[in-house]
């Protein structure tokens, strides 16, 4: 059985599996066949892609620390997949950001959440980077999508690019909040 650090990571994995044929938009909704059961030490997420255990302790620690996808390095989603997800979230954030004017009734949350998820997805990819390394190692790419990123976009897997991307996403979110104020 697979193990996820958080429910959000399990959902992300299922979304990636569902989107395997639609790689350009890697963050698709999880299939409706997904269900959740409670066990002694973990939830079990059931789907057509298999079962995923999500330990209660891991989810609790992540929630307390405000880490959406969990502590430590993912064993479920590889670095290339996180990079693709970050790009998807960033595109969504930019579209929503450009459309947002601050008028009542507009969806401000989608702007903020997508910029935040883009930054956090890059942060997840950065967790695979060994100390002192300039680029992500080969073993950080085990999925077909991840290996495709590694092969076709080698400039995106460097420490410098990942750090730049993360700073851009967090900076753009900060600029948005500075312009429109903090969320209520």
Last residue of a domain, one of 65, 90, 114: 65
Tell me, yes or no, whether 108 and 33 share the same domain: no
Tell me, yes or no, whether 9 and 42 share the same domain: yes
Tell me, yes or no, whether 88 and 170 share the same domain: yes
Task: Please report whether residue 89 resides in a domain.
Answer: yes
On the question of pLDDT at 108 being above 70, the answer is: yes
Tell me, yes or no, whether 56 and 122 share the same domain: no
Alpha-carbon distances of 141 from 5, 63, 129, 161, 173, rounded to whole Å = 18, 27, 12, 17, 28
Tell me, yes or no, whether 51 and 140 share the same domain: no
Contact by Cβ (8 Å): 69, 12: yes
Tell me, yes or no, whether 87 and 139 share the same domain: yes
Mean pLDDT calculated for residue range 76-83:
97
Task: Please report whether residue 70 resides in a domain.
Answer: no
Tell me, yes or no, whether 157 and 92 share the same domain: yes
Tell me, yes or no, whether 140 and 94 share the same domain: yes
Distance (Å, whole) CA 61 – CA 70: 8
Task: Please report whether residue 72 resides in a domain.
Answer: no
Domain of residue 16 covers 2-65
User: For the chain, how many structural domains are there in total?
Assistant: 2
Contacts of residues 44-52 at CB distance under 8 Å and 24 or more positions apart, as own/partner, are: 44/1, 45/4, 45/7, 45/10, 45/11, 45/14, 47/14, 47/17, 49/13, 49/14, 49/17, 49/18, 50/1, 50/2, 51/1, 51/2, 52/1, 52/2, 52/3, 52/4, 52/10, 52/13, 52/14, 52/76
Residues 14-63: tens digit of each pLDDT: 989 887 655 445 555 545 578 899 999 999 999 988 999 999 999 999 99
Helix, strand or coil, per DSSP, at residue 53:
strand
pTM comes to: 0.90
């Amino acid at each position: 059985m697979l193990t996820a650090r958080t429910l959000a990571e399990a959902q992300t994995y299922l979304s990636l599996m569902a989107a395997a044929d639609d790689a350009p938009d890697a963050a698709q909704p999880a299939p409706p066949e997904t269900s959740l059961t409670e066990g002694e030490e973990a939830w079990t997420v059931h789907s057509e892609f298999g079962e995923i255990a999500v330990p209660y302790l891991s989810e609790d620690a992540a929630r307390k620390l405000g880490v959406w996808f969990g502590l430590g390095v993912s064993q479920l989603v590889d670095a290339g997949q996180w990079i693709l997800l970050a790009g998807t979230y960033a595109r969504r954030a930019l579209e929503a950001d450009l459309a947002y004017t601050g008028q009542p009734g507009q969806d401000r949350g989608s702007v903020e959440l997508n910029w935040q998820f883009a930054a956090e997805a890059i942060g997840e990819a950065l967790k695979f980077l060994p100390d002192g390394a300039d680029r992500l190692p080969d073993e950080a790419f085990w999925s077909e999508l991840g290996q495709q990123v590694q092969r076709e976009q080698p400039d995106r897997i460097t420490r410098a690019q990942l750090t730049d991307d993360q700073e851009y996403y967090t900076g753009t979110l900060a600029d948005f909040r500075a312009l429109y104020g903090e969320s209520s």
